[in-house]
């Protein structure tokens, strides 16, 4: 990753001053040493002949609450102090990053005056299901911008936006621990910064942490999304239409690794959730939504319609807003229902091409947008 960033700056910004910041959370695996010592001696293999300014490095542990948000805060502070024009952040465990990513994340800011560059990845049709079924359609319906990967994790932004982020009083909240990605995207959109997307190709991470818990992950992402709804109610209530945002980069397609899916397990988890959590769900969702869920659980041909799913997510947002019960309890009951929706989408998209999958997600986004008046009406 460090080599890709160095090559990226050398190739695409040879005449610019650049600095690489490793905001470290106290890693014990020697990451700081590696970042500090790794230098590309010979740029010839990359067909780069000229490098006017060497890449400087800052390797520093961050302070504050442990989490990605606190690490980003350090980067924003460095950007502010150095009065940088453009900045890019990338996940350290990326395996598919290329030098082109640096160009794609930074050039829209430098040459086109954009403030925020969101990533656009090439992903397997079954991947990114929390993004596809909840975060993307909700963000789009609420704030009116078609940002395909609002929690992508790799962003470009202007120095002006970095300074603006620092003015927000969120660094002792959950944003510091998790939810920084959706917070950055929503803050940029809701405060009318100029936003675009860059096509980065495939996104491949290091092997998945076996201890990562879907329920905890889903709870964190959705709670951050709902927390931002509380922050900008006037903004999202006023949005009546949605618009595409500019997309840069050459779009290509490649064959992706097949993904193993256990449909039977997902559907049985959904049914278990409806049977065992029925009493709690009735306190969270509307009677109409609950009736739909029961109907879906009983049916032999399993399916969760887009209309039912979008109403369910809005009911969850309303339940958290009204504090019907502990927010952690509300959000954790979403896990089996989410698995039901994933199973339903996997069934729908089993034979679909990439374009057909995007068309299918457009239908889902349409369902959310159609139901937005329902959310506004119920939101007190």
- Residues forming contacts to other proteins in the complex (CB under 8 A) are 126-131, 151, 205, 208, 214-215, 217-218, 221, 259-262, 265-266, 268-269, 272-273, 275-277, 280, 283, 322-326, 329, 332-333, 335-336, 342
The residue among 121 and 368 lying less far from other proteins, judged by its C-beta, is 121
Helix (H, G, I), strand (E, B) or coil at 155: strand
| Count of helices and strands (H, E) across the chain | 17, 9
H or E, element range at 266: helix 263-284
Q: Residue 20's beta-bridge partner residues?
A: 57
Shortest CB 338 distance to other proteins, Å = 8
**Is 166 or 206 the residue whose CB approaches other proteins more closely?**
206
**C-beta of 144 vs 153, nearer to other proteins:** 153
Token couple for 295: 């109907």
Distance CA 168, CA 30 (A): 33
**Residue written as token pair 């050039």:** 107
Rounded least distance, CB 309 to other proteins, Å: 15
Rg (CA), the chain: 22
Enter the tokens of residue 9: 């700056």
CA atoms within 13 A on the CB side of 90: 28
Q: Which residue number, 239 or 334, has a Cβ lying nearer to other proteins?
A: 334
Min dist CB 276 to other proteins, Å, is 5
Nearer to other proteins, 92 or 129 (CB): 129
Q: Between residues 8 and 273, which has the closer beta carbon with respect to other proteins?
A: 273
Closer residue to other proteins (CB): 175 or 221: 221
Q: Kindly state the smallest distance separating residue 210's Cβ from other proteins, in Å.
A: 9
Q: How many CA atoms lie within 13 A of 111 on its CB side?
A: 10
Alpha helices in 232-262 (DSSP H): 233-238
Shortest distance, position 169 Cβ to other proteins, whole Å? 24
Closest separation in Å from C-beta 29 to other proteins = 22
* Rounded-to-integer distance, Cα 52 and Cα 103, Å: 17
In terms of CB distance, is 310 or 335 closer to other proteins?
A: 335
98: helix, strand or coil: coil
Task: In angstroms, give the least distance from the CB of 269 to other proteins.
Answer: 6
Unique residue bearing structure tokens 């606190």: 70
Lookup: tokens for 326: 């502990």
Which distant-in-sequence residues (6+ apart) come within 8 Å of 44 by Cβ? none
Kindly state the smallest distance separating residue 32's Cβ from other proteins, in Å.
26
């Amino acid at each position: 990753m460090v080599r890709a960033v160095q090559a990226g700056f050398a190739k695409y910004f040879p005449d610019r001053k650049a600095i690489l910041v490793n905001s470290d959370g106290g890693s014990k695996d020697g990451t700081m040493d590696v970042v500090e010592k790794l230098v590309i001696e010979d740029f010839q293999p990359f067909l780069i002949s000229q490098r006017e300014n060497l890449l400087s490095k800052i390797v520093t542990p961050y302070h504050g609450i442990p989490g990605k948000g606190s690490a980003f805060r350090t980067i924003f502070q460095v950007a502010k102090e150095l009065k940088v024009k453009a900045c890019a952040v990338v996940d350290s465990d990326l395996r598919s990053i290329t030098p082109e990513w640096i160009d794609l994340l930074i050039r829209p800011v430098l040459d086109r005056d954009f403030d925020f560059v969101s990533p656009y990845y090439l992903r397997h049709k079954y991947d990114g299901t929390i993004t596809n079924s909840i975060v993307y359609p909700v963000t789009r319906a609420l704030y009116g911008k078609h940002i395909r990967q609002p929690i992508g994790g790799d962003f470009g932004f202007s120095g002006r936006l970095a300074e603006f982020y620092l003015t927000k009083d969120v660094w002792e909240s959950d944003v510091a621990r998790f939810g920084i990605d959706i917070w950055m995207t929503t803050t940029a959109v809701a405060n009318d910064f100029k936003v675009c997307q860059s096509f980065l190709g495939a996104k491949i991470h290091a092997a998945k942490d076996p201890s990562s818990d879907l329920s905890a992950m889903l709870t964190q992402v959705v709670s951050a999304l709902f927390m931002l709804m509380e922050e900008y109610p006037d903004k999202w209530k006023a949005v009546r239409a949605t618009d595409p945002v500019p997309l840069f980069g050459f779009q290509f397609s490649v064959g992706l690794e097949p993904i193993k899916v256990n449909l039977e397990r997902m559907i049985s988890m959904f049914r278990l959730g409806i049977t065992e959590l029925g009493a709690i769900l009735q306190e969270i969702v509307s009677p109409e939504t609950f009736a739909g869920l029961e109907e879906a659980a009983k049916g032999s041909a399993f399916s969760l319609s887009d209309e039912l799913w979008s109403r369910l997510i809005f009911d969850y947002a309303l339940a958290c807003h009204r504090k019907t019960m502990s927010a952690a309890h509300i959000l954790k009951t979403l896990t089996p229902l989410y698995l039901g929706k994933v199973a339903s989408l996997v069934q729908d998209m089993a034979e679909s091409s990439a374009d057909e999958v995007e068309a299918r997600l457009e239908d889902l986004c349409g369902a959310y947008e159609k139901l937005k008046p329902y959310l506004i009406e119920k939101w007190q």
